[in-house]
Amino acid sequence: MRLMLPAARGHWRTFRHLRHAVASHHLALIATALIIVACVCIYFLSQMVVVKAKVHDSLDPLEFSARRLPEFVQQNRNSKSLVEFRRYLDGTLSLEYPDSLSKAVAIRRWVRQQQSQDKSVWSTTVKVNHEDPHRLLEEQRSGIPGSCRRFCYILTGALLSAGFDARVVSFTSALSRRGVRRHVVVEVLIEELDKWVLLDPTFDTLVLIDGRLASALELNEAVVGGRLDAMTFERNGSTLAPHPEPEIYGRYCRHLFMAMTNAIFDGYTVRFLGRKRMSFVHYSREATYPQLRKQLLLGAGGGGVLLSMLFWVWTVLSLIPD
């Protein structure tokens, strides 16, 4: 202990010298400059789409046709939360269906029917987003305003609880948030067809390209290729609004983002940090996703805030007399 005391005194003298070595107004200027840099970085970051999730670019469209994407995190089928969610579907699943596509369509229609036609509950912007199917279904039934995103996480949860393999797909019109249009849909794996089929619970429809059931990738390729006239819809008797139109998909579906997990009953969410953080793979023939720029902006913005706080503390300490 006696050996440590002189060293501690020496460190304290050094600290006292350093905290007065630079004028306090210079420290304040540095702190202010850092926070300005951080704010600029955060502003540019906020102009990007899919900010909170990590995004990988895919140059091979065939990956989206495979039964599994590399490193995809699959939902645990024995999840207690998943089993509990299945009880909501007892009436729908107790019926007989000629094939699995018919069952998936029935589940899609059930999800759409949980939300009323009242325009006040339809919102394209939601202040707080989450991915819990139980909470989302409760919100949908209680009239809390929501959008296509809520429909799709509920539908994904319902399909998984019914034994299907399903995943969430997001479309955007651009990679910049300014004026961007977005839409979220679901893909379900139909075993008889050995392919992923797009289900849109918002418009309560299947999408067909050249008369054939389309996947998210096939829809994206038709839109980017300017083939809106090849697009038709099968609503399976649904007359609920809104009604699908090729022009609507033409405005939304230029960039494809595929969720790299469907483990929404296991706690995976879209967030900046965390072990169970959802990531996405992006595909577009028009542009690649600027993931490196996003990481640099995140690092510079976060580092600027922390360093600014440090310099403000130093500024305050420099004003304290010995």
Whether the CB-CB separation of 20 and 13 falls below 8 Å is answered with no
Q: What's the total number of domains in the chain? A: 2
In this structure, the answer to whether residues 105 and 121 fall within a common structural domain is: yes
Structure-token match 């697009």, residue found: 231
- Whether residue 179 is found in the same domain as residue 88: yes
17 lies in the same domain as 131: no
**What residues make up the domain containing 129?**
52-289
Quick one: 107 and 195 in the same domain? yes
State the DSSP code for 261. Answer: B
CB-based contact 278:131 (threshold 8 Å): yes
**Looking at this protein, which amino acid is placed at residue 112?**
R
Tens of pLDDT along the chain (322 residues) come to 444 555 555 554 554 555 555 567 777 888 899 999 999 999 999 999 999 999 999 989 999 999 988 899 999 999 999 999 999 999 999 999 999 999 999 999 999 999 988 888 887 676 678 999 999 999 999 999 988 999 999 999 999 999 999 999 999 999 999 889 999 999 999 999 999 999 999 999 999 999 999 999 999 999 999 999 999 999 999 999 999 999 999 999 999 999 999 999 999 999 988 999 999 999 999 999 999 999 999 999 999 999 999 888 878 777 776 5
> 226 with 86, same domain?
yes
**Residue 163 has which token pair?**
């034994």
237/81 Cα distance (integer angstroms) = 32
Identity of the residue numbered 309? M
Shared domain for 269 and 123, answered yes or no, is yes
Tell me phi and psi for residue 183, to 5 degrees: -155, 140
Contacts of 322 (CB under 8 A, 6+ apart): 16
CB atoms within 10 A of CB 6: 9
Q: Are strands 54-57 and 166-172 parallel, antiparallel or unpaired?
A: unpaired
Same domain, 128 and 273: yes
Q: Are residues 172 and 33 in the same domain?
A: no
Strand partners for 207:
233
Assess whether 276 and 304 both reside in one domain: no
**Same domain membership, residue 162 and residue 61:** yes
Whether residue 66 contacts residue 167, with contact meaning beta carbons closer than 8 Å, is answered with: no
Q: What is the pTM of this model?
A: 0.88
Q: In this structure, are 303 and 222 located in the same domain?
A: no
What are the C-alpha distances in Å from 305 to residues 19, 128, 144, 260? 20, 24, 35, 31
* Residue 56 and residue 33 in one domain: no
How many alpha carbons fall within 13 Å on the CB side of residue 242?
A: 15
